[in-house]
Amino acid sequence: MSSADWKNYKPVLIPEIKDLHKIDVYEKNGGYEALKQVLTDKKKFDGPKSVIDEVKAANIRGRGGAGFNAGLKWSFMPPADGGPRYLACNGDESEPGTFKDRKIFEYNPHIFIEGALIAAYAMQITSIYVYIRGEYIDYVKMMEKAVQDAYDKGYIGKDILGSGFNVEFHVTYGAGAYICGEETSMLESIEGKRGYPRVKPPFPAQKGLWGRPTTINNIETLSCVPLVIKNGASWFSEIGAKNHPGPILYGISGHVNRPGVYELPSGVPVHDLINEVAGGMRNGKKLKAIIPGGSSTPVLRADQLEGVSMDSDSLREAGSMLGTAGLVVMDEDTDMVDVLWRIAHFYHHESCGQCTPCRDGTGWLEKILLKIKNGDGEVKDLDLLLDITTQMEGRTICALADAAAWPVRHTITRFRDEFEARCKKSVHAMA
Amino acid sequence: MAYEFTKEDLEQIEKIKAKFPEVKPATLPVLWVAQNRFGHVEPEVQRLVAETLGLPEAHVHGVATFYTQYYKEKMGKYVLDVCTCLSCQLCGGYDILHHIEDKLGIKAGETTEDGMFSVQQVECLGACGYAPMLQVTNGKYVNHLTKEKVDNLIKALKEGKEPDYEQMEMPLRKV
């Protein structure tokens, strides 16, 4: 299935099956077959390592935004030593523009549970925690029900399907903090603390939850795993873009006629997503810019989008990133100063405050942008903003500072005229 | 006023503790139990949580103040969390916020005198495709807001009718 052929794509993560969230329906449609194969079909899978190899070969790139090969991440876990080992599933989903994992919780929770169980077997994990953002309380309840159903059917617990494999599965949730989507911050939050990201190394595979080996994967990433096991790594890697294969849940929001989440192959052209999938621009307006994968990914002007598709290579060449594939569409009436100020406000509000460059930097970005927005800006403020971004990036424990700096740098650089015009209207305008 | 957990709360707390290898991880979920019981987690409630779990009060206070969904003071009966972040901003989230402020005669961060409503401006709630939207008291999402829909919501809440769960379909799905 090529990216260009997206019109003939049939959803596999969230297929068109009524009541698929119910465990009986999921089973009738081949659900938990992949888990059975992994645990009991010794001809197909000869132990945990063979599962890791298959997933690695499929090249499932992390759907939480970082895009790291999931199987490769699994292989970083140290050998089992008889002590507890953890899988922490990241359902915090808080990056502005991102609203996809909730679709899995709602429509196909068991594919995620099955994927997590296969991951647990592959890494000899003893306990799985799924961490969902606190605002998603309705989805928390749906997951609790799904996990209980899987316990009742014997897919979770002791001696699963007679294989001798044991694992626990717990649903936990947050209470409002974007930073808890950062993997080590999430571990702190699961441990019942303020969500302060941890210094790395040690990496979670060495010291994660309660100091024990831990792997963290996104919900959509784990949901791809049963598909890979059932259909094979090459089936998966032939879907969509070559270097970023597989199905993707695109979240499209902003000034389009049909915003929403769409499951399609990776690598769909941006223009197709906007004009065909999402029904075109609202009110017949012209496209001004997009943010391709959540608020931290650099904005692209409409004239930068010719031939660009939603895969990591194409977006990198264009000057941005795939991130979470949460595409925010902006029309010609959008005020980029207002948008950037609001993004800066978000990161300032969500900075955990551990590192000075981030705690103070995000504050200054917001303050200066508010000054410009209010018509009191000076042209030199733009260079001051750019200077602040260079003092934030790469100087902090986690990537929140970078996520706050990139949109400022790229929005100002790519819409410099608009920012200068706003400053020049001010009575303080210099030059 | 002295706060106390009910017998059911304490049973629930024991179940929560059983999920984790130590007590500290129960902090967030037990703060939720407390907030669901008392409507907020004022310092007195934080103390109760700390005593119940045998954890330092400073730890519980630290956690309660880190996360925005815990109400550190008494709030209105209904808290309207209006998202104004990126996609909601683009789709008129501020118009919705200001309409609510005008209608209730309060500003974001305030509570009406009769104690019925608090309004807050919040960060992204993960409903970007259904903007503008708001969340009612850490519970139901109300999506695709218009001024009329907001008016109807406020009217219904005044009558004690809380919104139902709104299923947001994936547009290409045929089921």
User: Of all helices (H) and strands (E), which one includes residue B120?
Assistant: strand B117-122
Write the class of the CATH domain B78-158. alpha beta
Which of A237, A268, A298 is at the close of a domain?
A237
pLDDT band at A428 (very low <50, low <70, confident <90, very high): confident
Nearest neighbour of B87 by CB, restricted to A136, A253, A261: A253
Bigger pLDDT: A333 or B171? Answer: A333
Nearest neighbour of B128 by CB, restricted to A18, A99, A137: A99
* DSSP letters spanning A216-272: EEEHHHHHHHHHHHHH-HHHHHTSS-TTS-SEEEEEEEESBSS-EEEEEETT-BHHH
Using a CB-CB distance cutoff of 8 angstroms, which residues of chain A are in contact with residue B127? Answer: 99
Bigger pLDDT: A3 or A265? Answer: A265
User: Of all helices (H) and strands (E), which one includes residue A190?
Assistant: helix A183-190
A312 and A341 share a domain? no
Q: Residue A207: what are its φ and ψ, rounded to 5°? A: -130, 100
> Is 90 exceeded by the pLDDT of residue B173?
no
Retrieve residue A240's tokens: 């969509």
A123 and A206 share a domain? yes
For residue A185, the one-letter residue type is: S
Contact criterion met (CB below 8 Å) for B37 and B5? yes
Using a CB-CB distance cutoff of 8 angstroms, which residues of chain A are in contact with residue B126? Answer: 93-94, 98-99, 102, 133, 135-136
A201 and A132 share a domain? yes
- Number of structural domains chain A divides into: 3
List Cβ neighbours of A43 (8 Å cut-off, separation of 6 or more): none
Q: What is the average per-residue pLDDT within A112-117?
A: 98
Query: Closest chain B residue to A18 measured between Cα atoms?
Result: B175
The position carrying tokens 């192959």 is A265
State residue A257's pLDDT score: 97
Torsion of CA B69, B75, B80, B85, to 10 degrees: -40
Q: What is the pLDDT of residues A342-357, one digit of tens each?
A: 999 999 999 999 999 9
A163 and A198 share a domain? yes
Cβ distance B70 to A175 less than 8 Å, yes or no, reads yes
State residue B169's pLDDT score: 84
Q: What is the average per-residue pLDDT within B10-30?
A: 97
A319 and A363 share a domain? no
Cis bond before residue A201 (omega within 30° of 0):
yes
Retrieve residue A148's tokens: 């209980």
- Percentage, residues of chain A above pLDDT 70: 99
Q: Does some domain include residue A345?
A: yes
* Polymer length in residues for chain B: 175
Summary mean pLDDT of chain A: 97
> Is 80 exceeded by the pLDDT of residue A427?
no
Provide ipTM, 2 decimals. 0.97
The position carrying tokens 């309060």 is B106
Which of A214, A237, A260 is at the close of a domain?
A237
Cβ distance A343 to B86 less than 8 Å, yes or no, reads yes
* Polymer length in residues for chain A: 431
Q: Does some domain include residue A317?
A: yes
List Cβ neighbours of B160 (8 Å cut-off, separation of 6 or more): none
Q: What is the pLDDT of residues A181-192, one digit of tens each?
A: 999 999 999 999
Q: Does some domain include residue A356?
A: yes
Query: For the domain that residue A342 is a member of, what is the CATH number?
Result: 1.20.1440.230
CA distance A253 to chain B (A): 4
Contact criterion met (CB below 8 Å) for B24 and B59? yes
A75 and A106 share a domain? yes
Whether A98 contacts chain B with CB within 8 A: yes
Cis bond before residue B132 (omega within 30° of 0):
yes
pLDDT band at A202 (very low <50, low <70, confident <90, very high): very high
Residues forming CATH 1.10.10 domain(s) in chain B:
7-66
pLDDT band at B1 (very low <50, low <70, confident <90, very high): low
Whether A122 contacts chain B with CB within 8 A: no
Containing domain of residue A419, as a range?
336-424
Query: Closest chain B residue to A332 measured between Cα atoms?
Result: B90
Using a CB-CB distance cutoff of 8 angstroms, which residues of chain A are in contact with residue B167? Answer: 106
Q: Does some domain include residue A242?
A: no
Q: What is the pLDDT of residues A77-97, one digit of tens each?
A: 999 999 999 999 999 999 999
CA distance B7 to chain A (A): 22
State residue B171's pLDDT score: 79
A272 and A324 share a domain? yes
Greatest CA separation found in chain B?
55
Contact criterion met (CB below 8 Å) for A254 and A330? yes
Nearest neighbour of A195 by CB, restricted to B66, B129, B169: B66
Fold of B7-66: Arc Repressor Mutant, subunit A (1.10.10)
State residue B175's pLDDT score: 62
Residues forming CATH 3.40.30.10 domain(s) in chain B:
78-158
Q: What is the average per-residue pLDDT within A96-107?
A: 97
What does each C-alpha distance from A75 to A51, A62, A72 come to in angstroms? Answer: 10, 14, 5
Q: How many CA atoms within 13 Å lie on the side-chain side of B93?
A: 33
State residue A4's pLDDT score: 86
State residue B54's pLDDT score: 98
Helices B57-66 and B27-38: angle between axes, nearest 10 degrees: 80
State residue A14's pLDDT score: 96
Cis bond before residue A48 (omega within 30° of 0):
no
Nearest neighbour of B175 by CB, restricted to A18, A170, A328: A18
Helices A400-414 and A379-392: angle between axes, nearest 10 degrees: 150
Query: For the domain that residue A304 is a member of, what is the CATH number?
Result: 3.10.20.600
Within 220-259 of A, beta carbons closer than 8 Å to B belong to 251-255, 258-259
* DSSP letters spanning A274-293: IIIIT-SBGGGPPEEEEE-S
Q: What is the average per-residue pLDDT within A197-222?
A: 98
Retrieve residue B68's tokens: 């925005």
Which of A177, A204, A237 is at the close of a domain?
A237
pLDDT band at A210 (very low <50, low <70, confident <90, very high): very high
pLDDT band at A1 (very low <50, low <70, confident <90, very high): confident
Contact criterion met (CB below 8 Å) for B46 and B33? no
Using a CB-CB distance cutoff of 8 angstroms, which residues of chain B are in contact with residue A334? Answer: 90
* ∠ CA B131-A319-A409, rounded to 5°: 75
A252 and A303 share a domain? yes
Q: Which residues of B121-144 are buried (b: 16+ CB within 10 A; e: fewer)?
A: bbbbbbbbbbbbbbbbbbebbbbe
* DSSP letters spanning B13-82: HHHHHHTSSSSGGGHHHHHHHHHHHHSS--HHHHHHHHHHHT--HHHHHHHHHH-TTS-SS---SEEEEE
Three-state DSSP state, A127: strand
Q: Where does A35-166 show beta strands of DSSP type E?
A: 86-91, 127-132
Q: Does some domain include residue A243?
A: no
Query: For the domain that residue A93 is a member of, what is the CATH number?
Result: 3.40.50.11540
Q: What's B109's DSSP letter?
A: T
- Percentage, residues of chain B above pLDDT 90: 95
> Is 80 exceeded by the pLDDT of residue A295?
yes
A358 and A230 share a domain? no
Using a CB-CB distance cutoff of 8 angstroms, which residues of chain B are in contact with residue A252? Answer: 129
Retrieve residue A14's tokens: 């969230």
A322 and A362 share a domain? no
CA distance B139 to chain A (A): 7
State residue A421's pLDDT score: 95
Q: What is the average per-residue pLDDT within A277-299?
A: 97
Q: Which of A122, A322, A326, A139 is nearest to A226 (CA)?
A: A122
Nearest neighbour of B123 by CB, restricted to A16, A98, A350: A350
State residue B172's pLDDT score: 75
Q: What is the pLDDT of residues B39-68, one digit of tens each?
A: 999 999 999 999 999 999 999 999 999 999
A to B CB pairs, distance under 8 Å: 166
Nearest neighbour of B25 by CB, restricted to A138, A191, A251: A191
B interface test, pick of A8, A20, A99 with most B CB neighbours within 10 Å: A99
Query: Closest chain B residue to A96 measured between Cα atoms?
Result: B124
State residue A206's pLDDT score: 98
Whether A95 contacts chain B with CB within 8 A: yes
Q: Which of A76, A49, A169 is nearest to A114 (CA)?
A: A169
* ∠ CA A96-A100-A105, rounded to 5°: 130
